Amino acid sequence: ALRGSFASKAQKSSQRSQHHLNPQASYKVAILGAAGGIGQPLALLIKMSPLVSALHLYDIANVKGVAADLSHCNTPSKVLDFTGASELADSLKAVNVVVIPAGVPRKPGMTRDDLFNINANIVKTLVEAVADNCPDAFIHIISNPVNSTVPIAAEVLKQKGVYNPKKLFGVTTLDVVRANTFVAQKKNLKLIDVDVPVVGGHAGITILPLLSKTKPSISFSDEEVQELTARIQNAGTEVVEAKAGAGSATLSMAYGAARFVESSLRALDGDGDVYECTFVQSDLTELPFFASRVKIGKNGVEAIISSDLQGLSEYEKKALEALKPELKASIEKGIAFAQKQP
Ligand code: NAI
């Protein structure tokens, strides 16, 4: 069903191997924050995946109805609901992939960093439970500010003695989805053909689309580069303003997150050709975390693709240097938060 619908043509060529995949694949996926604006459509998309045997929906409220509703879809996965802190541990037992979109979204005029105080605590609590109940799972962090919440998650996992940097991912797929869409529109290309790597982080100028590395290879005028880069960086704000107080991107985000889940499941299932951009612990730059294309395998990140950062345009080189101080500060803010906690 879903397999393939998320992928660009470039990625699809890698899926020719899919007939090798186990037809009885059965992975358990938990969504923490499942009743929210992202959580609900994300649950629906994951419910359509043939690779999932059980979908665990956790939230502090309103999750029973979402699960009852979703459970009537006649796709293979079983849907279970878990409400409130007392059911959090059970929601995580034997889970292979945990997706975390819990937290508050932006309202007009807010930056992602304005969400820090609330979401930092939520992510900390949830990741502690992940560490205690399914330390071996892939962890996908959606809650903003991702540039800080991923370092927080890493520190929490370290404190619990179970940190595996290969299995902690900040979800930046939406930046790639947006870049692909906007470039295809601008250049009149078939959407399915376009793949733009996006590196750096997930907020404002830390989002750096590498237009010079677009597949298929196309050239952009300086003006186009500036305009497209700014639009990709501000696309989230475009949605926040259009929703005028009703939240931030949820449907396109769910689409991006579902693509990342599906890629992770294919990797777990033995597909040897899975690549996604994601914000991970990284040695690509001097920063401890950095988003780039990575190869994902059964054990998580198998390789960080360094070639994307070679042969950058002058514009991209400058933008890369310009984003580093902000990204560094956001990472350090996350680490400091997690370390000062009792
Ligand atoms: P929402 O407010 O619609 O949903 C959040 C859900 O989290 C609610 O159902 C709420 O009950 C739940 N929640 C709150 N505290 C919780 C806790 N302690 N445990 C479990 N669940 C809890 O928000 P929406 O629109 O779904 O956004 C969620 C997050 O995703 C926000 O932080 C937003 O900034 C972020 N986001 C990230 C993007 C990315 O590209 N990584 C893109 C768009 C949004």
Point out the residues that are catalytic.
202
- Closest residue (by CA) to atom 16 of ligand 1? 102
The interface pTM score, or ipTM, of the predicted complex is 0.99
Contacts of 323 (CB under 8 A, 6+ apart): 200, 201, 205, 206, 208
- Which residue among 253, 278, 289 is best mutated to probe the pocket of ligand 1, counting the most ligand atoms within 8 A of its Cβ? 253
Gap between the Cα atoms of 63 and 79, Å rounded: 11
Whether residue 5 is predicted with pLDDT greater than 70 in this model: the reply is no
Q: What are phi and psi of 171, to 5 degrees?
A: -85, 110
* Residue 140 Cβ contacting ligand 1 at under 6 Å: no
Model pTM score: 0.95
What Cα–Cα distance (Å) separates residue 296 from each residue in 173, 221, 261, 267, 341? Answer: 14, 33, 11, 6, 32
Whether residue 145 is predicted with pLDDT greater than 80 in this model: the reply is yes
- Given a contact cutoff of 8 angstroms between Cβ atoms, the answer to whether 65 and 39 are in contact is no
Query: Taking Cα atoms as reference points, which of 28, 27, 91, 105 lies closest to residue 59?
Result: 91
pLDDT average, residue stretch 166-172: 99
Residue 170 Cα: closest atom of ligand 1: 41
pLDDT average, residue stretch 308-315: 97
Q: How confident is the model at residue 84 (pLDDT cuts 50, 70, 90)?
A: very high
* Residue 105 Cβ contacting ligand 1 at under 6 Å: yes
Percent of the chain clearing pLDDT 70 (strictly above): 92
Query: Taking Cα atoms as reference points, which of 226, 178, 167, 227 lies closest to residue 202?
Result: 178
